[in-house]
Amino acid sequence: MDGYSIDALVTKLPGHHIQERSVVHQEETTYFLTRTEAGQNQLAVYGPTGAASLANFQGTVQEFDGQSLLLGPLSLENAAALRHQFTWLNPIVLGLRTSVGLGDRLGLATPGHIRAVRAAGDHLAPIVAQQSIREMTRTGRTPQQVMDDAMWGVFAEGWRSGFGADADHLKTPADIDSCMAVGYTFYTFDPGEHVDSTADELSPQELRAHWETLPWDRLEDSATALTARYLSHPIQCEDYAITFDEATLQRATIKYGRAVAHAAFLYRHLEQVGAGRAWEVEVSVDETETPTTHAEHVYIATELRRLGVHWISLAPRYIGSFEKGVDYIGDVQAFEADIAVHAAIARTLGPYKLSLHSGSDKFSVYEPAVRQTRGVVHLKTAGTSYLEALRTIATLDPELMRSIYVFSREHYEVDKASYHVSAQLSRAPEPSTLSDAALPTLLEQFDAREILHVTFGSVLTTRTADGHWLFYDRFMEVLRTHPEAYAVDLEAHFLRHLKPFAAWENSEAHANR
């Protein structure tokens, strides 16, 4: 650091801790983050008095010995100025690299996420700005806040190997617009509301009746043309021949035709508003009642491609159960056999990545998924980082954790409505039976874990009768005043997630793929 070493500058910043991984020198100016004893982060810009580099930032300025030190908030304006200064703080497209989505509902998890990625070997491509519109609504955040919180975490950890920003579970053009406006690079389309899962149960007569009502105009197709394309010959995907008879084709089209049309509609809107920018698309049909068959996967991919949609990853609904925040429920060997065919389809009709949604804590299927996709895979997580925050709080503030658990039990039956979970209150430990020291064990118990997971929105947004936050202020204060504790918990937890994916990226097989 010109003029002063970091240690010498510390004497000029009483009550501040310099976050050393954040320190960046550029020409005569040094940029870094500080943290006060109360847990408040500030941007510091240190350089020659009058330097143009300081003029772009907001804050208070101290001058000494011909040098100026600006201390400013982690504001919208300072985030924009820092991104302009350092291009590596802007999200990028990740392509077919093995990638992991690291959703952060609190805006505090990115340092721990980055440490886990770095510890796993630096080869994985992280998406650190990731939140669905549904989650933003529940937590009272905006796309800009999600982006900025992630960027400050990237800066704090000195991560310069690139990251993505996922506008997750988009359903409308307005959702796309709000995220494109702030620079997201990864757009996850969620046409799940247009999937008709009843198709799996329709009789031959009912299939024919539903077939007639399909939106052929929006699909830019006809029943005759579609039938000719699929019934004339098997579709060979490596060692697997995917065959369609009339019922299979009708069922696939009834189940997913409207979803395909909606995804194409969203894609064309994205093409318009994203013209001249770099972005990539994921299509998600995972939040449906029944699994996506191999024939249905072929239908979805073939028809999306016919309609001009280009995507980097696809999230089918796999066999078994991917519930929130817990391990895979089902036969792991059957899962591997199933995803092997999905992966062959993705290589043949793409290539594109298979995406594992609700991927948090699915430890038993990571290795099979990586092996069968040959590393062309994306893991998407979110809620598990909130649960790790609860682990940190359980250790540091047991009284708060106990109150949150009691509250979550009271709200579970209502809050679980929009999630696919199977936890039962009767199987979760009663709060009165738990000592303070035992509270962290709630994060290891299946039912308690799901109960805590799906009630996050209520925990973070409920207010008292006089308008004050019930939990939010105290919740965030614990994490902000103990950032290392939270980062350590996150790093340890996510290393378990990332090691199977990093092992492939480091392998000889990856080098030869």
- Measured from the Cβ of residue 194, the count of other Cβ atoms closer than 10 Å reads 18
454 Cβ partners below 8 Å, 6+ apart?
Answer: 324, 412, 415, 416, 419, 421
Residue 31 in any domain: the answer is: yes
For residue 448, is it within any domain? yes
In a domain, 452, yes or no: yes
**Structural domain containing residue 46:** 6-85
Mean pLDDT confidence for 138-148: 93
| pLDDT over 80 at 315, yes or no | yes
Contacts (Cβ under 8 Å, ≥6 apart) of 489 = 112, 388, 391, 392
**What are the catalytic residues?**
168, 282
Backbone angles phi, psi at 284, to 5 degrees: -120, 125
The residue with greater pLDDT, 289 or 294, is: 294
Token duo for residue 143: 């796309």
107/470 Cα distance (integer angstroms): 19
pLDDT at site 3: 43
What are 236's strand-pairing partners? 241
Query: Does a structural domain hold residue 362?
Result: no
CA 64 to chain centre: 44
Q: pLDDT per residue over 336-367, tens digit each?
A: 999 999 999 999 999 999 999 999 999 999 99
If pLDDT is split at 50, 70 and 90, which confidence band does 153 have?
Answer: very high
Q: What's the confidence (pLDDT) of residue 512?
A: 52
Structure tokens at 57: 């930032």
Put the strands of the sheet holding 67-72 in their side by side order: 16-26, 29-36, 41-48, 67-72, 60-64
Q: Which residues on neighbouring strands pair with residue 98, listed in sequence order?
A: none
- Dist. CA 480–CA 485, nearest whole Å: 10
Per residue in 34-67, is it b (16+ CB within 10 Å) or e — as a string?
A: bbeeeeebbbbbbbbeeeebbeebebeeeeeeeb
Decide if 106 contacts 461 (C-beta within 8 A): no
Residue 283 domain-assigned?
Answer: no
- Of 84, 79, 78, the residue nearest 70 (C-alpha): 78
pLDDT band at 5, cuts 50/70/90?
Answer: low
| Section 230-252 average pLDDT | 97
Q: How far apart are CA 278 and CA 499, in angstroms?
A: 29
Say which residue the tokens 């062309």 belong to.
Answer: 376
pLDDT digits (tens, 9 = 90+) for 32-80: 999 998 889 999 999 999 998 899 999 999 998 889 999 999 999 999 9
Q: What phi and psi values does residue 282 have, to the nearest 5 degrees?
A: -120, 140
Give, for 342, the enclosing helix (H) or strand (E): helix 332-349
The one-character DSSP state at 57 is S
The pLDDT value given to residue 505: 67
User: Does 307 map to a domain?
Assistant: no
273 HSE (CA, 13 A, CB side): 19
pLDDT band at 143 (very low <50, low <70, confident <90, very high): very high
Instruction: Concatenate the DSSP letters of all residues of 87-132 into one string.
Output: GGGS----TTS-EEEE--SSS--HHHHHHHHHHHTS-SEEEEEEEE
Residue 253 belongs to a domain: no
C-alpha closest to that of 20 among 3, 5, 38, 40: 5
Please give the pLDDT value at position 429: 98
Please count the structural domains in the chain.
Answer: 2
Give the pTM. 0.95
Give 209's pLDDT tier (boundaries 50, 70, 90): very high
Diameter over CA atoms, the chain: 87
Distances (CA, A) of 432 to 405, 413, 428, 435, 438: 11, 20, 12, 8, 11
**Where among 85, 102, 134 does a domain terminate?**
85
Q: Is the pLDDT of residue 507 over 80?
A: no
Residue 102 CB burial class (10 angstroms; 0-12, 13-18, ≥19): buried
Residue 314 lies in a domain: no
Structure tokens at 461: 């947004």
Residue 405 has pLDDT above 90, yes or no: yes
